[in-house]
Amino acid sequence: MSDYIAYYRVSTERQGQSGLGLEAQRDIVHRFVNGTGGRLVEEYVEVESGRRCDRPELATALAFCKKTKSTLLIAKLDRLARNVHFISGLMESGVEFVAADNPHANRLMVHMLAAFAEHERDMISKRTKEALAAAKARGIKLGRYGQILAQENHERAQIFSNSLREVVEELQGEGPRTLASMALELNARGVPTPQGAKWYPTSVKRLLSYMKAA
């Protein structure tokens, strides 16, 4: 019976907190362990970018693998890195590892898969830079539309906040109010937000900030 140390990686802090992508990796790993009759000893979760190689959780997982003579188990090869040098370093660590999505991959195949992934990443980056350079050469001012749109949105929000000034001042004149109580009162009066939705403390806070800036 094989002992496995699971290593999961998510790219952002939000994914790590919400479980986005993490539960899918866990499901793949657990099904693999159950299917092989092995034993899952420990699990490590890393919140890092795929381009980085300094991963403390992975280092801890590898050390634990050496100590317990366990196999490092990952859900998919791309959860480690799209980087041949990083994969090579992992393989040279002496720790056995297996990807649940390709458990029969030998060392040569792992190198090839990592090389293809790294090549694709570089090509995407190259195509993006070429497209931006071509657009710039045609005289397109990158980001200009976004700036105009942001300014228009700001002006509309300013006009809307001014239209509610009398209502807000009336609420404030009734005594001290929290953002939550103001949101409840605006909803009770049937006053919609600029998007036609309900008010919440955060949207009331934005409204007051626009009124203050006017």
pLDDT digits over 35-69, tens only? 999 999 999 998 865 555 567 888 899 999 999 99
Name the residue among 35, 20, 22 with its Cα closest to residue 75.
22
Task: Please state, in angstroms and rounded to a whole number, the distance separating the CA atoms of residues 127 and 152.
Answer: 32
| 78 lies in some domain | yes
The two structure tokens encoding residue 157: 């929000």
Task: Please state, in angstroms and rounded to a whole number, the distance separating the CA atoms of residues 202 and 10.
Answer: 29
What's the domain range around 94? 3-119
* Res 135 pLDDT > 70: no
97 and 174 share one domain: no
| 128 lies in some domain | no
79 and 149 share one domain: no
Confidence class for position 173, pLDDT limits 50, 70, 90: confident
Q: What is the pLDDT of residue 175?
A: 73
Confidence class for position 3, pLDDT limits 50, 70, 90: very high
Hey, which residues does 7 pair with through a beta bridge? 44
Q: What is the pLDDT of residue 41?
A: 94
- What does pTM read for this prediction? 0.51
111 or 197, greater pLDDT: 197
101 and 156 share one domain: no
The two structure tokens encoding residue 150: 């942001």
- Phi, psi of 178, deg, nearest 5: -85, 165
103 and 153 share one domain: no
CA 115 from chain centre, in angstroms, equals 24
24 and 99 share one domain: yes
Task: Please state, in angstroms and rounded to a whole number, the distance separating the CA atoms of residues 204 and 161.
Answer: 10
80 or 14, greater pLDDT: 80
Host H or E run for residue 131: helix 107-137
90 and 12 share one domain: yes
| 133 lies in some domain | no
Buried/exposed code over 95-104 (b: 16+ C-beta within 10 A; e: otherwise): bebbbbeeee
| 81 lies in some domain | yes
78 and 165 share one domain: no
For the annotated catalytic residues, the residue numbers are 11
- Identify the domain boundary among 79, 102, 119: 119
* Res 111 pLDDT > 50: yes
The two structure tokens encoding residue 126: 């190259």
103 and 166 share one domain: no
